[in-house]
Amino acid sequence: MSGFSLKPFFADLYQECPSADYTQAKKRLKIDGDGQSLKVGLGLGKLKSCDFLTAKAGVYQFIEISDLKAQYQSLQTRAKQLKKYLTTKELKTCFYPKEVIAREFREKYLHTLLILDGLEKAYALRTRPKKQFLIVLCESDATDVMAFQFLVSKLSPCLDGLVDKVEVLSILDLKNRLSS
């Protein structure tokens, strides 16, 4: 892919959280999105993916920014509505919020690795940096961040060997980390 430029795919990191009002916008490589995104640029638009990628000092950070609290509550409501129609096993497998969210994030990370492979081929990259999967909550409440720590224990074993670290943090924590 000669002449392939990443420049059009940089976007404001905080656009994923409408409630986040940060004056110091951070531009990062946007992977996800139907329009101007890396996966679409590489012809891989059908894949799921993390929202952004940063690369610094031999570490790739895959960043997924989400309003997990709202998603969790929506899934919980749906599970309650379906409780009388499904077995406990069906509910847990298909509608239990922790399972659904963990499965979705696992798929996003794995598909993002495929997109990264396409990027590495486009630029003939041969590096094997460490990989971190940062799950960022739009909320800045430490209680919410603690409530979603289950994702670390659910995702780390099934992504073993594919990711060096899974971390859940708030949008404010991400801002502070990227500013330092």
In whole angstroms, what is the distance from residue 27 CA to residue 6 CA? 12
What is the sign of the dihedral through the CA atoms of 58, 137, 64 and 106? positive
Kind and range of the H or E run holding 60: strand 59-66
Is residue 115 classed exposed, middle or buried when 0-12, 13-18 and 19+ CB atoms within 10 A define those classes? buried
Q: What tens digit of pLDDT does each residue of 97-120 get?
A: 899 999 999 999 999 999 988 887
Q: Report pLDDT for 25.
A: 62
Determine the pLDDT at residue 34. 77
Averaged pLDDT, 2-30: 75
Residue 74 pLDDT: 92
Q: Does residue 14 have a pLDDT over 80?
A: no
Q: Please check whether residue 109 is in contact with residue 50, taking contact to mean a CB–CB distance below 8 angstroms.
A: yes
Q: Concatenate the DSSP letters of all residues of 3-17 into one string.
A: T--SGGGEEEGGGG-
- Please report how the helices 97-122 and 150-158 are oriented relative to each other, as an axis angle in degrees rounded to 10: 50
pLDDT of residue 6: 86
| pLDDT one-digit tens code per residue, 105-159 | 999 999 999 998 888 777 777 777 899 999 999 888 889 999 999 999 999 999 9
Q: How many CB atoms lie within 10 A of CB 152?
A: 14
Domain spans, the chain:
7-179
Longest Cα separation, the chain: 57
pLDDT score recorded for residue 20: 63
What are the tens digits of pLDDT across the range 57-101? 889 999 999 989 989 999 989 888 888 888 888 877 778 889 999
Which three-class secondary structure state does DSSP give residue 29?
strand
**pTM (predicted TM-score):** 0.89
User: What value does the mean pLDDT take over residues 1-28?
Assistant: 72
